[in-house]
Chains A and B, each alone.
Chain A
Amino acid sequence: MREIVQSFLEEIPKRLARMESLLAEGNQIEFRRVVHQMKGAGGGYGFQEISNAAAQLECCMNLSGEQWSRDCLAHLVTFQTLLRQAHAGLRERR
């Protein structure tokens, strides 16, 4: 289990970068998929907060459609912050 949590954490920068580029492209569908998958998996890897944040972001995106509301952006920031923190935790553990 430890190894897959490790690789989950190691992949976070790649995921964050992908989310950034999807947002830049305006590819909301694919972006939503990434968020959705993090919602489904985060808790299973021991990061329930990441799942929760992803769920809030996903819900907000569903409600606001093309134009993101301010809430949505706030949820996005929380989500990204949690991912960065989790990844930073990985570095500390080493």
Chain B
Amino acid sequence: MIGAELSHDEASPIWDTESNLMSEATPVPRLLAIDDSELIHRLLQVRLQGERLELHSALSASEGIRLAQELLPEVILLDIELDEIDGFEVLSRLKQDPRTHDIAVIFISAASDTMDRVRGLDLGAVDFIAKPFEVVELKARVRLALRMRHLVKMLEHRAQIDGLSGLWNRRYFDQRLSQEFSEARRHGRPLSLIMCDVDRFKRLNDQFGHPFGDHVIERVAQVLLGGRGSDIACRYGGEEFSMILPSTTATHAQEVAERKRVMIESQSWTGHPDLVVTASFGIADLQRMPANATMEQLIQSADAALYRAKQQGRNRIEIA
């Protein structure tokens, strides 16, 4: 199994241990405090000095919402009793906006208001702290909120990774290709798609058993994962893989595919010294397609090229 979390270009850091959470290896978390009391902000600034936190202050609800959208902080400290609109309203607006939806919100309420706390938690806050608060407790709650956020991020990341190959899974592929497709269209940039299929995979499985088949998938995935950081390697399904190459023309995609083809072909297989495993490749280039071509047509086009590569003898590359 390869460490996809580490190898992908936009990989988030691994948050496996608690000690990692606030350590030097990770970016400094941003904390936005929304409170209409200048006294509280001054206090936080001094008491949180020396913590690995970037502290931002908002004195009103509207400033708070604006800063949340701008800064996308990891954690928001939100006072319930604000001036123009109350903290509950701020909280529900943050939760409705996809940009700010995932920010961990800790709200501050008077110690006595049980119903307020219930309401805040039901609206999606991760925690609350009673006012007046002790700064040590506040720090501990901020740490807890960061920890939860990292775990959620990690789970989200895991949900997009294929368990066997460690590559991005099909779900991520669909989502990412759609994103790259619109980007390329909007900016008139090239975009290439490589579809890759292990040759005679069924025969390998039948001859050497499924564990060996799995091993082949892992090794091919490793080959596809290496190289340029901007290439997005995915497991499309079964023994079929795909690579999204943003800002890349078919000519360059062909060079990438050729390197992969040679590397796969030259792998040596323990226990099978004479075995040669190969793969075929089909390439589609958005710039070679009609102006109104859809993302589905781009995939179909790469698939058709792959089919041609198979027809023409396998272990080769065809461009649509």
The residues of A with any CB-CB pair to B shorter than 8 Å are 1, 4, 7-8, 33, 36-45, 48, 51, 55, 59
Contact = CB atoms under 8 A, between A and B. Distances in A.
B299 to A, nearest CB: 57
A55 B110 CA distance: 9
B115 interface: no
Contact of B40 (A40, A48, A55): A40
B5 interface: no
Contact of B133 (A4, A7, A33, A44): A44
Looking at chain B's contact residues, the main secondary structure is mixed
A44 B37 contact: no
A44 B81 contact: no
For the complex of A and B, the 4 pairs showing the least CB-CB separation, nearest first, are A43-B132, A41-B39, A37-B37, A44-B43
Interface residues of B, number: 19
B47 interface: yes
B46 A1 contact: yes
Contacts of B43: 4, 41, 44-45
B210 interface: no
Given A1-B46, A8-B42, 16 more contacts: A4-B42, A36-B81, A38-B39, A39-B110, A40-B40, A40-B79, A40-B108, A40-B131, A41-B39, A41-B40, A41-B132, A44-B43, A44-B134, A48-B132, A51-B132, A59-B112
Given A1-B46, A4-B46, A36-B81, A41 B135 contact: no
Contacts of B37: 37, 40-41
Contacts of B135: 44
Looking at chain A's contact residues, the main secondary structure is helix
Nearest to A44: B43
A39 B39 contact: no
Interface string B88-120: 000000000000000000001010100000000
A24 to B, nearest CB: 22
A28 to B, nearest CB: 15
Nearest to B138: A44
A4 B47 CA distance: 10
Contacts of A43: 132-134
Interface in B106-154: 108, 110, 112, 131-135
A10 B132 CA distance: 21
A36 B79 CA distance: 12
Nearest to B35: A40
A44 B43 CA distance: 7
Contacts of B79: 40
Nearest to A8: B39
22 contacts: A7-B42, A8-B39, A33-B36, A37-B36, A37-B37, A39-B110, A39-B131, A39-B132, A40-B37, A40-B40, A40-B108, A41-B40, A41-B132, A43-B132, A44-B43, A44-B47, A44-B132, A44-B134, A45-B39, A45-B43, A51-B132, A59-B112
Nearest to A1: B46
Nearest to B38: A37
B39 A40 contact: yes
A15 to B, nearest CB: 10
A63 to B, nearest CB: 12
Nearest to A7: B42
Nearest to A37: B37
Contacts of B42: 4, 7-8
Contacts of B133: 43-44
A40 B77 CA distance: 14
A55 B134 CA distance: 16
